[in-house]
């Protein structure tokens, strides 16, 4: 089998057509370099140089040089491609979240910085995230509620207030209320998400903590971003995180603070602790942890 090291040495000798200068450039002993060239010629079954006087490539040497340079160039390109893949500039990162509206800002910035990385998005409930990470079916998850930590590494991205939003003609708004207690929300019609989504879990928990009957749900769905639009249409009130107030597409609703410290959302980035993340996954993890979540529009 032809020695890759011998090919590289041959290319230098062929370029310089001088053994001693080639040996100096390669930092090898000239006798060793001579033996390498001789073994290569023996393997090919023909001389590659004319040795009468000055060392010169012959016809066979010129033909072989073209192929050797092409082969070494392809190998070097392959090495660079693998290094880029390991570094994250190519490949795919599989990212899961309960809602994608939260991620529009950092995802847009990531694609501008790394256009060759393919981003594969999965919409998952938090209870499914741990299983999918441990099964290596996704690389990263952004959760808005606690996820069992077994085998997972978590980084807090944002802790933010969650507001009650109400139609502009709602009695609380007309009364000029800037805050409200949870008991005052009992009996109000709520627009919220299905069981399992973080808004619904937060709403149920707030009512349970205050020993209230379950909230009155008039509309439930799978996409949290629809809540404000439905509230603005007059269907009821809802819980929406502070981040949505910075959205350029904010619906015409009133924002009312909830008394107490429990009405909050914690945004957490999760990955499998014992895994070997791809370069693309490492780049995405760095992008999400480095994003300024507390300012600017989503």
92-115 tens-digit pLDDT: 899 999 888 889 899 999 999 999
The per-residue pLDDT for 147 is 87
The per-residue pLDDT for 89 is 72
Mean pLDDT of the 184-207 span? 93
Q: Which two tokens stand for residue 269?
A: 């980035």
- Nearest Cα neighbor of 293 from 167, 139, 184, 155 is 155
Phi, psi of 177, rounded to the nearest 5 degrees: -75, 130
The helices-and-strands tally (H runs, E runs) of the chain is 10, 12
CB 152 within 8 A of CB 273: yes
What's the rounded Cα separation, in Å, for the pair 203 and 192? 9
For residue 108, the number of C-alpha atoms closer than 13 Å in the C-beta half-sphere is: 8
Largest CA distance in the chain: 105
What's the pTM value of the predicted model, to 2 decimals? 0.70
The per-residue pLDDT for 85 is 66
236-281 tens-digit pLDDT: 999 999 988 877 557 899 999 999 878 999 999 999 987 788 888 9
């Amino acid at each position: 089998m032809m020695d890759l090291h011998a090919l590289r040495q041959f290319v230098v000798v062929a370029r310089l057509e001088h053994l001693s200068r080639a040996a100096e450039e390669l930092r090898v002993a000239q006798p060793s370099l001579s033996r390498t060239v001789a073994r290569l010629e023996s393997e090919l079954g023909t001389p590659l140089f004319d040795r009468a006087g000055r060392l010169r490539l012959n016809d066979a040497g010129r033909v072989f040089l073209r192929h050797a340079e092409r082969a070494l160039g392809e190998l070097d390109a392959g090495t660079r491609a693998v290094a880029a893949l390991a570094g994250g500039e190519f490949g795919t990162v599989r990212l899961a979240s309960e809602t994608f509206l939260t991620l529009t800002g950092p995802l847009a910035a990531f694609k501008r910085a790394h256009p060759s990385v393919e981003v594969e998005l999965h919409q998952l409930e938090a209870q499914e995230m741990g299983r999918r990470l441990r099964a290596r079916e996704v690389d990263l998850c952004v959760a808005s509620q606690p996820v069992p930590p077994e085998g997972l590494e978590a980084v807090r991205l944002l802790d933010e207030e969650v507001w009650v939003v109400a139609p502009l003609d709602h009695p609380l708004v007309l009364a000029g209320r800037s805050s409200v207690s949870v008991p005052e929300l009992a009996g109000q019609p709520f627009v919220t998400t299905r069981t399992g989504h973080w808004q619904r879990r937060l709403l149920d928990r707030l009512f349970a903590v205050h020993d209230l009957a379950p909230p009155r749900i008039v509309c439930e769905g799978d996409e949290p971003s629809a809540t404000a639009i439905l509230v603005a249409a007059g269907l009821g009130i809802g819980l929406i995180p502070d981040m949505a107030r910075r959205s350029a597409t904010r619906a015409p609703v009133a924002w009312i603070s909830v008394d107490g410290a429990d009405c909050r959302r914690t945004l957490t980035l999760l990955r499998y602790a014992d895994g070997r993340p791809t370069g693309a996954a490492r780049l995405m993890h760095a992008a999400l942890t480095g994003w300024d979540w507390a300012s600017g529009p989503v």
